[in-house]
Structure 1
Amino acid sequence: MTHEVVQHVEALGPRLAAAAEETERLGKLSDESVALVREAGVMRLLQPKDFGGFAAHPRDFAEAVMAVSRHCGATGWVCGVGGVHPWEMALCDRRVQEEVWGKDPDTWIASPYMPSGIAVPTEGGYVLNGHWQFSSGTDHCDWIFLGAMVGDAKGAPLMPPRSLHVILPRKDYTIVEDSWNVVGLSGTGSKDIIVENAFIPDYRSIDAAEVAEGEIAAERAGRTDTVYRLPFWSVFPLGITAAVIGITEGLLQHHLDFQRERTMANGTKVKEDVSTLYAISEAATEIAASRTQLLDGISRLHDRAEAGKPITFEDRAVVRRNQTRCAWRAVMAGDQIFARSGGNALRKDNPLQRFWRDSHAGLHHAIHIPGGIYHTTALIAMGIEPAPHQRILI
């Protein structure tokens, strides 16, 4: 059964599409886009029920992100990234959950998780300094997760390294305006963040390794819903890849609408050109396969957790491998149809070119870089134990 939030997104789809051009022009989500996402409830899908969320199956979350992305790639991307943050917040100390959602369960949380800062231990917490890039949707968020390395008094990372996710209110960090000038996903407003000597109470931090394992953090937080027992590196990539696949679905739909009555330069109607129709069907199949495999992977992990079975590193690696391939397969399929859309598809008033640019921009995220994950998964398949550095982001 389709989740009510997905149904709501579909109903609001034409309005999301109508707001997409303004979102791109602004370089951040338009007020209309934000209002529609709030109305649909997308950001609350993985939020715990005791704070106004759905604690939904991650499959429903992915389908909602795809549905948004089909109409506006930038808005779908922000939903895919930002929609995971309530999931992690559910694993944090109850005190910070109350601070974030106590007065408004629709409060949004930004990131990024790259450990681009140093957290120096002090009495009662840490002092944080750093500069982060790629904070998607940050203009619309009142709190932020930031990745940081625990450091010494001189600001150098401790060895062996220890990574934290720390949580800051809007007043404790600076958004760098004009730091997001890009050719794709420009409407995401993924700006830089700067923190200078901010105090982070202990309860506003969580060990990144615990979150990565899933079960440990859920037990510590007292969360029993299955979704919170999943590993971080299975849930976080899900929203990002779902956005990319949804964008390619939007590209396909706009291509079909554009080609329906189009006549090519040689006078042949596209609907009578066998080679173009072949390419359309082939691309549609590849995009559909990407959707199916992505949803199947996260569903398999959820089923294991639901049954009380451990999720092994091999399980995680295979799902990450497939998730990465899903994104590349869908974008490559989009290339085949965009290249057959004619010169008018390049015009800035044609949504086709925006979907094409946004899909390619989505492949630049670290979770879509295939080399490391493919290497590691192949080693596992041969019965070879991966080295510690080969386990990163899995």
Structure 2
Amino acid sequence: MTKPFSYDFAIVGAGAAGLQLTLKMINDDFFNEKSILLLDKDEKSANDRTWCFWEKEESIWDQLAIQKWKTGLFINDKKTISFDLAPYQYKMVRSADFYAYAKAIIEKAKNVDWVKSEVSDIKEQEILGEEKTYHSHHIFDSRIPEAFHEKKSSYHSLIQHFKGWFIETESPAFDPEVFTMMDYRLKWKESTSFTYVLPLSPTSALVEFTLFNDQLLPDDEYDHYLKKYIDTYLSLKNYTIKEVEQGLIPMSNYPFHKHHSTYTTKIGTAGGWVRPSSGYSFKNADRYSSMVIENIKKGHRPEKGIATSRFRTYDSIFLNVLASRNDLGEDIFTKLYTKPEIQSVFRFLDEESSFSEDLKVMFSLNRPQFWKAFLDTFRS
């Protein structure tokens, strides 16, 4: 390095966004002579989350995917719908595998320093760590701004919160070729809540209870619903809980993109990289990291064209409806995931659909609350 603790680029946070951005820099010759700092307070060795996403083609993530599915189920009290994802596949990556993969590549990169340190503040080009202060030409910051917590009540904001059990049975109980996208037969009060089942083998699966609302549950309440679902709907009495995962994802139309500054670009959830209507983030981190790289190479602002599209308007409408009528979630998702062409929903959620396709998706929901939310969005 030319100067102690001075870098061309600094990335604060080694989550999906920070690590994918680091990996793309390493793999692009443009950054060979650029010094890169990666800061995170954690070792990033534990399996602290699971990422799922759909893709048409094979990608570098196939080597990390512990399971892939071509068939999904949508279930409610009235029906069970089986849908063929082709040409898509639904893929599952465990964070521990992703962290190990990223670490192995980063350790070989001579121009990257990974420092275990919490960041207390960023002031223009200065990063205040626990023991040292670092200087960087440009900083990519994944920390959620304090203003979000202070002002989120002024926006349509929900939380996607969940708890999942990796369970194992003695005898075959699952079809590893079919996953359950959403099962609404068991709900917490009149909320948008459902169970998600990802079979990994005939004798193992991740069963996860998920809510899209504004109220976290006591920890034992998640356990109650998981146990009830497994007992009642999977009809399993003898099983072992091998692992537990739990988390929450902010779902908000808060303008995270307004926190970019001359020397700092917000990334990940803090940069609006998580689709607020669904909570999917891993593929967004992949796509948006590529956009950041191309913007830098072309001399543009790194965040140009990211998370400011018409899709954020759709997300705002969606959140408006669920924030005012959380009980409508089942009906909304039923109409989305039981469409004859489920692929159009994936294109919509991947922000790859045309405006005419978007209108078809929106019209298919056909509820007065959506039209009111649509008008409210364009009045504001």
Is the TM-score greater than 0.5?
Answer: no
User: Between Structure 1 and Structure 2, which shows a larger proportion of strand residues?
Assistant: 2
Instruction: Report the TM-score, using the length of structure 1 for normalisation.
Output: 0.28
Instruction: Report the TM-score, using the length of structure 2 for normalisation.
Output: 0.28
Q: Which has the higher relative contact order, 1 or 2, with Cα contacts under 8 A spaced 6 or more apart?
A: 2
